[in-house]
Structure 1
């Protein structure tokens, strides 16, 4: 990944792709589709180039970098900022799944792929990788521990519910301020299977209270009803059975309803 400045002084990010086996013609066709995707919560692809095995994507530059650089460090995000990030990310995925001219799966939603502008508005990055890689299952190797839905592990057919699961993990990270890998490590100590996240979180809340899962600093603001609503959305998204997970349009609806209560 490189930072660059164009002739018109526009700051951009240049990403060099590895492992893309498509020929130049196929790459140009797919990259053109991605460039035409335009939504305020999706990182804009300004351009691309291809020369045999050398393939580059040129994206808009966002001042605050990726969510993980703020979420897991000392910089503190309040509840409203976390809610704004959750809602914006959900709207970006909703566009990819249901509202755009081209149906796109992301397949790798995680804090590293959610960028923040100078107002901490989120934009989903790398949403076109599933179109550029010939073998979509190769993307599985890029996913970190804790983000992999059960259907990935069982090599089942992948659909939009994979993104819903990943989104649920990100939402849990937003609420707990703990990375997915730490949450899964804790889970592995208490359960034989690592895909029982819903059971683990639900039992924690029932037995020890919401404060055992939620970041303590958020509890100081104590909009308990809002926190409970966000946790409810989270638990729906990370259901083991993908048919039990909501669509992204339903997720956005639940988030908006929660904000108005």
Structure 2
């Protein structure tokens, strides 16, 4: 897919962005506001992130990363409209998504339908595939979680928040970096080695996929659990699948059980993605094909099994 034109450079002094009064959310790198901008005599609503933790980066590095991310163009990615990089001012202006975060959709109020949830999961998977394999420069997001997935006016999933993203050259498959990400979604290899690959995103996606299926948080200490349940989502889902009780995973949801084969397929994909052994964890292209039913999905081993097995996706 062709990549879009570079993001527009804004000036902090020309008032191109204004009205940053309504706070939309807070992240590890700054606060996101709802704002407006006039482009070609047309007023546009934007989500504007004011960064407060990039001062250690050089100006050239910041501009280089913004330029690369600004050129990405995919229906399941938030588009960077523009940026400001003047003195201590760091602003990133993104498309505004009216339906909020995937976290709110899954964990607050009535849960989305099974059809909506499978579409959201597929959208995130395709967005990650684009970042990993279809960009001029490979991008490892490093912080895939429901708070960083936004929903557009049609509830399509859009990956956002590239504040932690690590950019790789085409001939580079690993990178040295400090631990990045959010507890509950961080791949185990972050803690064993400073070398990571795109499979750290695959792990986080696996956790996210299981959250989408169950509408349960990856780690939830606030819920009341029976003796057969666990506050650790991956553990509980694995136990249910191994025990042949996949219907429990979706709370006997009729719509999900109407296509039990598809449900079991997605559950198995999620568990393959969260394998502790990086070598048996699939790449995003394989994960997408498994989700679509293009290739068979074997029953995964226990995610924490370190023994290499022959049956690999």
CA distance in 2, matches of 1:186, 1:201: 16
CA distance in 2, matches of 1:215, 1:53: 50
CA distance in 1, matches of 2:193, 2:118: 33
User: Max radius of gyration: which structure?
Assistant: 2
- The 1:214/1:150 distance shift into structure 2, 3 A limit, reads same
1:256 shift after superposition: 1.6
Q: Greater strand percent: which structure?
A: 2
Which structure has more relative contact order (CA 8 Å, sep 6+)? It is 1
- The 1:98/1:127 distance shift into structure 2, 3 A limit, reads same
Indicate whether 1:68 and 2:106 are aligned: no
Q: Is contact 2:126-2:288 (8 Å) kept?
A: yes
CA distance in 2, matches of 1:168, 1:240: 11
Indicate whether 1:10 and 2:68 are aligned: no
CA distance in 2, matches of 1:78, 1:221: 12
1:184 shift after superposition: 11
CA distance in 2, matches of 1:172, 1:55: 35
- Three-state SS of the structure 1 residue aligned to 2:293 is helix
Unaligned runs of 5+ in 1: none
CA distance in 2, matches of 1:13, 1:222: 39
Deviations 1:71-126 (A, max 9, x none): 01122211111111111100100000001111000000000011111111111001
- The 1:106/1:234 distance shift into structure 2, 3 A limit, reads same
1:200 shift after superposition: 4.8
Could you say which residue in structure 2 is the equivalent of 1:232?
A: 268
Q: Is contact 1:205-1:212 (8 Å) kept?
A: no
Could you say which residue in structure 2 is the equivalent of 1:166?
A: 204
1:165 shift after superposition: 0.4
1:24 shift after superposition: 1.9
CA distance in 1, matches of 2:255, 2:194: 39
1:153 shift after superposition: 2.5
Deviates more, 1:210-219 or 1:148-157: 210-219
Deviations 1:9-54 (A, max 9, x none): 1110110122212122221122111111111111000011112332
Deviates more, 1:216-225 or 1:233-242: 216-225
Deviates more, 1:222-231 or 1:49-58: 49-58
Unaligned runs of 5+ in 2: 1-31, 168-175, 296-313
Could you say which residue in structure 2 is the equivalent of 1:243?
A: 279
CA distance in 2, matches of 1:239, 1:183: 23
Could you say which residue in structure 1 is the equivalent of 2:79?
A: 44
Indicate whether 1:139 and 2:195 are aligned: no
Superposition RMSD in Å = 2.8
- Three-state SS of the structure 2 residue aligned to 1:129 is coil
1:243 shift after superposition: 1.1
For normalisation by structure 1, the TM-score amounts to 0.86
